Amino acid sequence: MMRKINRIAGNIGFGFGVLMLVAPAITVFLWMLSLSLKNELDNTDYPPVFIPNPPVFDNFAEVFERNNFLKYAINSVIVSFTATGLAILLGVPAGYGIAKMKATKAAVVILIARITPGLSYLIPLFLLFQWIGLTGTLAPIIITHLVITVPIVVWIMMGFFEGLPAELEEAALVDGATIWQAFRHVAMPLAKPGITVATILAFIFSWNNFIFAMVLAGRETRTLPVAVNNMLTFEQISWGPLSAAALLVTAPVLLLTLLAQKQIVEGLTAGGVKGG
């Protein structure tokens, strides 16, 4: 009897502990949602109003009306999709080659790229883009985003190809396939889960990136994080539209995380990757 009570008490304690771990994570997002659904009067009320009653969607409408938000959203989509796509095209074969050649030096370059502060790439690239006259287009932003996406893809794919059994490709080679065919028709189909993980992570970290576009983007070429940050500077206290914009920016990656949490956990556990 005593043992049973002890166990129940232990379980309650454990449940409380888990709640304490999870609560801060969810609260910030719920508060973001709450702010975005209230009018300005409720948002600046003290003590704070927690549950929007009734919820209003004016903030979202205002974001789209006032801030050229749609244009920046399109910019973000173009940049992240292109940078991720290019990284997959380049990085998957490269990861395969590095794994096959056991090229540890190449792996070290990727590792150092992972630990270099994103800001330090910007001075030379900023000057370079000015000299060759690319400023004012999305090209510089896409190119700098490759600094984030390429190392993520190479790193994950390298690990993935190293873990694949070599027998199948060798059988294909003995049967007269070229190494490209062995890669394309044997190794790559096997590596599909790895490619999925790499794509998702590269996309998320490119989408979230702030600093590159912050420095390189002009009025027409801002990505969403930069646009939202600019709203803060100009609208100090209008919390509703600000939260609505913040929510719109981060909603796609949060949804992606919820949908693909298994792959994301897998990829992050293996590589400890993070961009910028």
Partner 1 sequence: MAGSTATLDGAAAAAVTPRRRNNYARRYWWFVVPCGVVVLGTIIFPWIFTIYMSMHDFKLGGEREWVGHANYVKLVTDERFLYSILRTLYFTALSVVIPMVLGLLAALAFARKFPMRGLARTIFILPMMATPVAVALVWTMMFHPQLGVLNWLLQQVGLPPSMWVYAPDTVIPTLVMVEVWHWTPLVMLILLGGLASLPIDPYEAAKIDGATPFQSFWHITLPLLAPFLVVALIIRTIDALKAFDTIYVITQGGPGTASETINIFLYLQAFAYYNLGYASAVVVVFFSIIIMLAMVLLWTRARVKASG
Restricted to residues 162-181, the positions that interact with partner 1 (CB under 8 A) are: 166, 170, 173-174, 179
Q: How far apart are CA 134 and CA 71, in angstroms?
A: 19
Nearer to partner 1, 110 or 195 (CB): 110
Amino acid 184 reads: R
Binding residues for partner 1 restricted to 170-229, rule: CB under 8 A: 170, 173-174, 179, 183, 204, 207-208, 210-211, 215, 224-226, 228-229
Contact 248, 165 (CB under 8 A): no
Q: Give the residue, chosen from 5, 26, 104, 105, that forms a contact with partner 1 under the rule CB under 8 A.
A: 26
Q: How far apart are CA 230 and CA 15, in angstroms?
A: 41
Told to check if 84 binds partner 1 by CB under 8 A, we report no
Told to check if 88 binds partner 1 by CB under 8 A, we report no
Contact 186, 172 (CB under 8 A): yes
Q: How far apart are CA 97 and CA 99, in angstroms?
A: 5
Q: Give the residue, chosen from 100, 107, 164, 168, that forms a contact with partner 1 under the rule CB under 8 A.
A: 100
Write down the least CB distance from residue 112 to partner 1, Å.
8
Binding residues for partner 1 restricted to 245-274, rule: CB under 8 A: 246-247, 249-250, 253-254, 256-258, 261, 264-265, 268-270, 272, 274
Q: Among candidates 157, 143, 256, 125, which has minimal Cα distance to 203?
A: 256
Burial of 7 by CB count in 10 Å (0-12 exposed, 13-18 middle, 19+ buried)? Answer: exposed
Tokens coding 74: 């399109």
Told to check if 12 binds partner 1 by CB under 8 A, we report no
The binding track of 113-152 with respect to partner 1, each residue x by CB under 8 A or -, is: x-xxxxxxxxxxxxxx--------------xx-xx--xx-
Write down the least CB distance from residue 255 to partner 1, Å.
10
